[in-house]
Amino acid sequence: MNDGMDLLLLSSSRTHGYGLLEHARDEIAEFLAGVTELVFVPYAQRDHDGYTATVAEALRPLPITVTGVHTAADPVAAIGAARAVFVGGGNSFRLLKTLQDTGLLPAVRDRVRTGALRYMGASAGTNMACPTLRTTNDMPIAEPSSFGALGLLPFQINPHYVDPDPSSTHMGETREQRITEFLEDNDVPVLGIREGGWLRVRDAAARLGGLKGSRLFGRGAEPRELAPGEDVSFLLSGTPRFDVPG
């Protein structure tokens, strides 16, 4: 974990009862203070122009211009000149493959780690901040060259975390069961952030925010409930270990 990084990681860009990004608009405004142009990465969805226009409209109340990185003649150079980037949600496999294919994965990683680029993610974009794609909820509709993501954090996040419903007749795996299965083969904390919640990381500090809390999973430990506003800076000092069956 590198000091100097500034991250805003949303579980979701939409939450019930709010417009796109509306639930987090105050936090986004604070995060982007002093920035006049936001570079948006729409690669998690197929319609890049439409997705960019939708995000630009959602952020219209803020004094900021949204520019899709896909419109740049040289996307890597566009990231090199940016002060803030927003990686949107959609399919995490498609997103990671495109970041790899365009060369944006190392370009974003290097600038965020030095503190030169503020990083905002939502859903799939939040998955990208983790060491690996392994805790995404998405179907593998595309095949990236590896599951290795940006690695801005030393732990995993599960966006859109949904609690088990004891009254449900659905016989498939719950989200908790899937995360428990992940921990059978990997020794790294997983932060399940419910829709409407987010994680803010600044320098060597991390805190939860938003409308709902989170649930923290670890190998050999009972899940722990975390409330909005709670300090989770301790998660930044861990060392993830993958492919280590328990």
Number of domains in the chain: 1
237: in domain = no
Q: Which residue has the tokens 């492919």?
A: 243
Q: Which two tokens stand for residue 126?
A: 């939040």
pLDDT in tens, 156-189: 999 999 987 777 767 567 999 999 999 999 999 9
**Does residue 89 lie within any of the structural domains?**
yes
Q: Lowest-pLDDT range, 80-89, 120-129, 130-139, 159-168?
A: 159-168
Choose the catalytic residue: 160, 168, 231, 243.
160
Can 123 be counted among the known catalytic residues?
Answer: yes
Q: Is 241 within the bounds of a domain?
A: no
Residue 1 within any structural domain of the chain:
no
**Interval 229-246: pLDDT, tens:** 999 999 999 999 999 998
**Structural domain contains residue 225:** yes
The pTM score is 0.96
Please tell me which residue in 11, 138, 187, 214 is annotated as part of the active site: 138
CATH of the domain at 43: 3.40.50.880
Q: 193 in helix, strand or coil?
A: strand
> Which domain does 190 fall in, by range?
6-232
133 assigned to some structural domain: yes
- Per-residue burial over 203-240, b if 16 or more Cβ lie within 10 Å, else e, is eeebbbbbbbbbbbbbbeeeeeebebeeebeebbeeeb
Residue 246 lies in a domain: no
Q: Is 28 contained in some domain?
A: yes
* 170: annotated active-site residue: no
